[in-house]
């Protein structure tokens, strides 16, 4: 039935415009100026309910009665959905264009609302075919590795340049999250998720200067660039070093750029995965995290061989829904995580992340030999990804192999030489296990955005240095645990200690230096 027919029969319009956005009631789609926008079911229903009110105020109670009906949820469920809608529509709560919040009462839409024809159809037209379905599986981002510019070099340097380019192609091909195109020219019509890696060689003293950049094909934006210096007497070892740095830096830059644009993604499985993955990493509360988990579950149910969707889903189940609800991971969640991790690896045995994810699942189940095997296979399959290297290093830390852990952390730093909060936490924990509490504390206090674990580490190492200051820091940490606990009744100190051990799966007595000081700080 057409939109026009809906209005004539007295039914609610099937299609509405809200400012620059189009709502398809029956297909449950939100379409923005740049295409479909992926939002959760509850977010769509709240937006549609507000649109049906034609800009009138809807109280919070009315929204709960309409969208959640007989389900009892807290007020944070609604605020989380409103935040999701603002993010998806590019709205600002302080200067809104779409959703106005009436403090203490509810919400209204302030953008123009109209009944419209389906997207791509004239207002008076009658549909002759079924609504457009999902765009299929979709494709991962692609990197076109162009021919390198050697115009400034002498002809004899061509073999050296060919070797570097081949190594870069091989290195990038190990990342299952991307497709690598060898050659010049366009790889997709609009270049919406395509990139081009360029390199230019210039003479520099007795060697070369290599200028590389990663460019987004859609709009020409440069998302990453670096310059590398190589002396003529270092050509043998230098090729490997340059390749590691280029490959290890280009992929994280691309991944971050894709993630930033995920909210404007289309409706393919890959687009849905990108949105759900980002939500799983950025979830502010358990409701958001569980929405991401449900979407990822739906993706793997629809296409079990879509290997990329498994790791972020396993992570949510293993670690308290991304540490949004402390203590919520138990035997059931960890069992489901292990099942999914095995299925993810079976779907693509070349996907390195699948090995590290399964490795951590084995750690959590105290299957240490299997964990070690997974981490070593991940290392063998892609030694150029600094994120995976850090994961393997962390795994080796839990297995008590501190020497190899430190070597891998250093290897990852050599590829991507920057120390962020995660690096300080990893290196601080390793120094602590090695018996160097002063170095550990020095790392921990440099962390700017403290995770629940780095805050614990700061509190415990501070207690070791100054019991009075440490006691206050420990209380602040416990307050945070209690506030974010998965049930209203907070845990006692013994339960907190067991929770700490549950999320730090050391083999044998490798974790004793940490657990002993944590127990002392909790006065157990």
Q: pLDDT for 125-176, tens place per residue?
A: 333 333 333 445 666 788 888 888 877 777 666 667 777 788 788 778 777 7
CA atoms within 13 A on the CB side of 148: 24
- The conformational region for residue 29 under phi > 0 = left, psi -120 to 50 = alpha, else beta, is beta
Tell me, yes or no, whether 386 lies in a domain. Answer: no
Tell me, yes or no, whether 278 lies in a domain. Answer: no
Q: Please tell me the least confidently modeled range out of 40-44, 174-178, 441-445, 450-454.
A: 174-178
Neighbours of 469 (CB within 10 A): 12
The residue count for the chain: 524
Query: Any idea what the CATH number is for the domain that residue 166 is in?
Result: 3.40.50.11830
Per the DSSP assignment, residues forming a β-bridge with 292 are: none
Same domain, yes or no: 49 and 108? yes
How far apart are alpha carbons 444 and 428 in whole angstroms?
6
pLDDT digits (tens, 9 = 90+) for 74-133: 777 888 888 889 888 888 877 788 998 876 678 889 889 988 887 654 333 333 333 333
Question: Cβ(250)–Cβ(143) under 8 Å?
Answer: yes
Same domain, yes or no: 89 and 152? no
pLDDT digits (tens, 9 = 90+) for 276-287: 998 898 888 999
Question: For all residues of the chain together, what is the average pLDDT?
Answer: 83
Return the ∠ at Cα 222 (arms to 217 and 223), rounded to 5°. Answer: 100
> Final residue of a domain: which of 66, 98, 115?
115
Q: Which two tokens stand for residue 244?
A: 């590691």
Residue 107 is inside which H or E element, if any?
strand 106-109
Tell me, yes or no, whether 245 lies in a domain. Answer: yes
Tell me, yes or no, whether 446 lies in a domain. Answer: yes
Same domain, yes or no: 98 and 194? no
pLDDT number for residue 262: 53
Residues 6+ apart with CB under 8 A from 506: 398, 400, 512, 514
Please name the residue that has the structure tokens 């390793």. 430
Tell me, yes or no, whether 461 lies in a domain. Answer: yes
Same domain, yes or no: 16 and 100? yes
> Final residue of a domain: which of 80, 115, 150?
115
- The conformational region for residue 322 under phi > 0 = left, psi -120 to 50 = alpha, else beta, is left
Per the DSSP assignment, residues forming a β-bridge with 29 are: 24
Please name the residue that has the structure tokens 């600094």. 386
Same domain, yes or no: 74 and 12? yes
How far apart are alpha carbons 277 and 271 in whole angstroms?
10
How far apart are alpha carbons 36 and 266 in whole angstroms?
5
Tell me, yes or no, whether 66 lies in a domain. Answer: yes
pLDDT number for residue 341: 96
Same domain, yes or no: 96 and 181? no
Same domain, yes or no: 53 and 98? yes
Tell me, yes or no, whether 367 lies in a domain. Answer: no
> Final residue of a domain: which of 239, 260, 281?
260
pLDDT number for residue 124: 37
Q: What is the CA radius of gyration of the chain?
A: 26
Same domain, yes or no: 172 and 107? no
Q: Please tell me the least confidently modeled range out of 34-38, 82-86, 155-159, 396-400.
A: 155-159
Same domain, yes or no: 254 and 151? yes
Number of domains in the chain: 3
Q: What mean pLDDT is predicted for residues 31-46?
A: 84
Q: Which two tokens stand for residue 36?
A: 């479909």
pLDDT number for residue 4: 36
Q: What mean pLDDT is predicted for residues 473-494?
A: 94
Tell me, yes or no, whether 299 lies in a domain. Answer: no
How far apart are alpha carbons 276 and 270 in whole angstroms?
10
Q: Which two tokens stand for residue 204?
A: 């520099």
Q: What is the pTM of this model?
A: 0.67
Report the Cα 433 to chain-centroid distance in Å.
29
How far apart are alpha carbons 367 and 371 in whole angstroms?
6
Same domain, yes or no: 33 and 110? yes
Same domain, yes or no: 30 and 84? yes
pLDDT number for residue 29: 83
Range of the domain at 522: 419-524
Same domain, yes or no: 505 and 428? yes
**How is the chain split among helix, strand and coil, in percent rounded to 5?**
55, 15, 35
């Amino acid at each position: 039935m057409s939109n026009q027919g809906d209005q004539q029969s007295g039914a609610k319009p099937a299609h509405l415009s809200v400012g620059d956005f189009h709502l398809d009631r029956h297909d449950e789609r939100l379409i923005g100026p740049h295409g479909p926008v992926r939002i959760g079911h509850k977010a769509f229903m709240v937006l549609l309910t507000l649109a049906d009110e034609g800009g009138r105020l809807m109280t919070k109670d009315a929204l709960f009665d309409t969208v959640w009906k007989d389900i009892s949820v807290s007020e944070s469920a609604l605020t989380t959905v409103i935040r999701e809608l603002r993010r998806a529509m590019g709205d600002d709560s302080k200067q809104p264009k779409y959703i106005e919040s009436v403090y203490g009462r509810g919400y209204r839409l302030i953008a123009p609302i109209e009944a419209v024809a389906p997207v791509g159809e004239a207002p008076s037209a009658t549909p002759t075919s079924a609504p457009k379905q999902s765009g299929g599986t979709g494709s991962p981002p692609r990197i076109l590795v162009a021919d390198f510019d050697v115009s400034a070099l002498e002809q004899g340097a061509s073999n050296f340049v060919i070797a570097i380019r081949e190594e870069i192609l091989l290195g990038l091909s190990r990342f299952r999250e991307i497709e690598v195109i060898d050659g010049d020219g366009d790889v997709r019509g609009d270049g919406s998720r395509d990139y081009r890696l360029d390199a230019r060689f210039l003479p520099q003293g007795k060697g070369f200067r290599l200028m590389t950049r990663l460019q987004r094909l859609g709009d020409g934006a440069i998302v990453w660039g670096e310059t590398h210096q190589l002396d003529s007497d270092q050509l043998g070892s230098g090729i490997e070093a340059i390749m590691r740095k280029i490959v290890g830096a280009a992929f994280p830059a691309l991944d971050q750029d894709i993630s930033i644009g995920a909210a404007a993604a289309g409706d393919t499985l890959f687009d849905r995965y990108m949105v759900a993955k980002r939500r799983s990493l950025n979830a502010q509360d358990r409701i958001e995290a569980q929405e991401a988990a449900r979407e990822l579950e739906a993706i793997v149910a629809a296409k079990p061989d879509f290997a990329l969707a498994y790791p972020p889903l396993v992570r949510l189940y293993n670690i308290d829904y991304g540490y949004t609800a402390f203590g919520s991971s138990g035997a059931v969640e960890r069992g489901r995580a292990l099942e999914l991790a095995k299925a993810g690896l079976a779907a693509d045995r070349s996907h390195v992340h699948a090995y590290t994810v399964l490795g951590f699942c084995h750690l959590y189940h105290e299957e240490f030999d299997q964990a070690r095997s997974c981490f070593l296979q991940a290392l063998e399959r892609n030694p150029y990804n600094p994120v995976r290297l850090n994961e393997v290093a962390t795994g080796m830390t839990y297995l008590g192999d501190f020497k190899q852990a430190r070597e891998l952390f250093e290897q990852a730093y050599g590829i991507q030489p920057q120390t962020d909060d995660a690096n300080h936490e990893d290196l601080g924990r390793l120094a602590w296990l090695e018996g160097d509490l002063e170095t550990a504390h020095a790392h921990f206090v440099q962390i700017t955005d403290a995770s629940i674990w780095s805050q614990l580490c700061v509190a415990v190492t501070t207690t070791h240095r100054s019991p009075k200051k440490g006691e206050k820091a420990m209380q602040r940490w416990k307050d945070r645990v209690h506030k974010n606990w998965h049930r209203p009744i907070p845990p006692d100190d013994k339960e907190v200690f067991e929770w700490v051990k549950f999320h730090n799966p050391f083999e044998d007595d490798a974790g004793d230096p940490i657990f002993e000081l944590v127990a002392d700080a909790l006065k157990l």
